[in-house]
Amino acid sequence: MAVVQRVGQGLGLTWTVLGSDWRVVEPAETYLEFLRDEQRSPHTVKAYAHGLAAYWSFLEATDGDWRAATPATIGTFLARLRDGDAAGRVIPLPAAVDRDGPSPATVSLRLRTVMSFYRFWAANDGVPVAGLLYEQVIGRPGPYRPFLDHLARKSGRLRSRVRVRPDIRRPPVFTPEQVTLIVDAAAVWDVHERRWTGNLRNRLLWSLLAETGLRLGEALSLQHRDWRSGHGDTASIEVVSRPHPLGVRTKSGPRRVYIGAELDRLYADYVWLLCDGGIDSEVADLDGAYVFCNLDREPVYGPLSPSTVYEHVRAIKRRERSLPAAWTPHWFRHTHATALLLAGVEPIVVSRRLGHASVETTLNTYAWVTADAEMRTVANWRAWTAGWGAASA
C-alpha cells in the first residue's frame, strides 16, 4: 500500500509518495516536483500527494500499469474511493450501507489529482493514456462568459471523460451574531479599567479575517510594513507574496485591501500592547516583524503558526457551544464574500478583494447568493459592511 511521506525541505516541509516497497514512486515524485517548481503551496503538494498515494495503492492492489490506464480504470478507482478503500481488491456486494466513505469533495479532489498527473505525463513523455481520458468540447461551464468567449468556442477545451458530480453545497457562513461572538470570545473592552481584557492579538486576527476576507495564510504572512494606517485617507493592508519561515503561503498574487477605521484603531491598540511588552527592544526591524506573533511561547515575537491558531479555535468551540461545530477560520472568508454580495457590492470588486484569479471563480462559488432573497432577512448586511471600506479592491 502506498503512503505519503513528509520530507524536510530547506526551512519548510514537503511531501512525497512511497510505494509498498518503501521506495519513492518516481512518476508521482516527478509530478510533485513539477508542482514545487510551479511554486504551488505546500498544502496543494500535500493534497496531491495523498491523491497519488491512493491511486498507487489502487494500482498495486489490482496489479495495474499506470501507463496503460483507461477511463474504465479511473472509474473503478473512483468506485473504490467512494467505498472508502482504494486498495481493496474486491468491492463488497452489496455495498456496506453503514460504511462512511470520503466526501464528494474529497473524491473530486482525488480525481483532479490523477487527471492532472496524466496531463503532465502526456505533455512531457507522450504517455498516450491522456488522449483516452480527455475529450474536446465547445463551450464553458458555469454562468460566466469571458469577453472573447466567441473565439474560445472555435478551438474548444479539454474535458475529462471521467467526472464526479459536483458538490453543490453552499460555502458555510457565519451570521453577524456568530462573528461578534467569536471576536468577543478573544478580547473585550473593559469600560471601567479602560483597557482590553483577553487576547487582543486573537481579536485582531478574527476581526481582520471577517472584514477583509483574507485567507489565514495571508493574514499570518502580514508584516507591520504591510499595514498602511489611515492618516486622512482610507487605511489599507498590502498582501505580499514572500518566503515565510514556517512555510505559510499567500496563494494569491499581491493586492491592496482597504479596511475601516475601527479595525485600524484596533491594530493601533495591538501595536501599543506589543511596544508596552518590549517588542521594540527585542526586535531589531519592527517593520519587518510579523503582525501576528507569539506572545506567550518561544520564540517570543516569532511568527504565529497556523497550529497555534487552530488551538484557539478548539478552545472557542469548547467554550461557545452555540457556534457551528465544524467552523474553521476559512468560514470568515466565505462570510465576507457573502455579506458583500448581499450588500450589493459588484462581483468584480468582491473578486479583486478576495484575490480570485478571475470573477468567474467568485460567480461560480457564490452564484447562489444573488438569487437567495431569504438571506437578506437574516440581518442588515448593508449596515454590517458599511465600515469595511469595501468600495475599493
Name residue 215's amino acid: R
pLDDT in tens, the chain (393 residues): 889 998 876 656 789 999 999 999 999 999 999 998 887 888 889 999 999 999 999 999 988 899 888 888 888 888 888 777 776 654 444 444 444 567 777 888 888 899 889 889 888 877 776 666 666 556 555 555 555 555 555 555 666 666 665 555 678 899 889 999 999 999 999 999 899 999 999 999 999 999 999 999 999 999 999 999 977 788 999 999 888 888 788 877 789 999 999 999 999 999 999 999 999 889 999 999 999 999 999 999 999 999 999 999 999 999 999 999 999 999 999 999 988 888 878 889 999 999 998 887 888 788 766 555 445 544 455 666 766 765 555
pTM (2 d.p.): 0.71
Say how far apart CA 87 and CA 194 lie, in whole Å.
Answer: 61
Please list the residues that pair with 137 across neighbouring strands: 157
Question: At 33, phi and psi to the nearest 5?
Answer: -65, -35
Say how far apart CA 227 and CA 239 lie, in whole Å.
Answer: 9
Pairing of strands 236-239, 195-198: unpaired
**Cβ neighbour number for residue 24 with a 10 Å cutoff:** 16
Say how far apart CA 156 and CA 139 lie, in whole Å.
Answer: 7
In angstroms, what CA-CA distances link 228 with 117, 235, 270, 391? 42, 6, 15, 17
Give the list of residues 6+ apart from residue 90 with CB closer than 8 angstroms, or none. Answer: none
Is 176-328 a domain of CATH 1.10.443.10?
A: yes
Say how far apart CA 261 and CA 263 lie, in whole Å.
Answer: 6
Domain chopping of the chain, boundaries: 3-129, 176-328
For residue 98 the three cell numbers come to 453503514
What Rg, from alpha-carbon coordinates, does the chain have?
24
